[in-house]
Amino acid sequence: MLPRNPRRQDLRQAVARLRRGEVIAYPTEGVWGLGCDPRRRRALRRILGLKKRPQGKGVLLIAATRIQAARFAMLEAVDAQILDRYWPGTTLVLPAARAAAPWLRGRHGGIAIRVTRHEASQRLCRSFGSAIVSTSANPSGLQAARDLRTLKRYFGARVWALPARLGGQRRPSRIVDAASGRILRS
């Protein structure tokens, strides 16, 4: 059985892999995610290749704190009550900051980002010192991995996994457009 939270040495290994531009798998609130350093275009291309997903869709990021999120999204452009209502836990589409590279946004003007409530994901982002790319761990068209067996079936040894448990959610996070309040994924 996986530990609730990753051990220090596993976090150190995950951070080292992210810094080298590698793709890792890690647990989130409801499903396994694939992540990389959002500043590394080559790493994002590797994720998209693993998923067989077009770049135009864009990806979302997870952060441990609003400060980390503010590096990629213009939080000051959104009513603070919206942020208080949805964070932590819900993915918000926000106006992108200059640091949000176009390859993260795809063909969209905004950026999708979530301040996570999942403790293992928070620890990963804190240890890395930044928000990270977070996309469900599955090839396009297949169900997101909810266990290590499925994750390994999808990606084998091509992706290292941070050993820790998923949160209790039954599905991926809800996505809300912060400007309109429209639910993009429930």
**Least confident interval from 46-50, 55-59, 68-72, 119-123:** 55-59
Report DSSP state, residue 98: T
Considering the entire predicted model, what is its pTM?
0.94
Tens of pLDDT, residue by residue over 109-161, are 899 999 999 999 999 999 999 999 999 999 999 999 999 999 999 999 999 99
Q: Which residue ranges make up each domain of the chain?
A: 8-185
Contact 106, 57 (CB under 8 A): yes
The CATH superfamily label for domain 8-185 reads DHBP synthase (3.90.870.10)
99 CB contacts (<8 Å, ≥6 apart)? 71, 72
| pLDDT (average), residues 86-104 | 93
Taking only the tens place, the pLDDT of each residue in 164-179 is 999 988 877 889 999 8
Among residues 89, 80, 73, the alpha carbon closest in space to that of 122 is found at: 89
Question: CA distances (Å), 81 to each of 84, 112, 114, 183, in order?
Answer: 5, 18, 15, 17
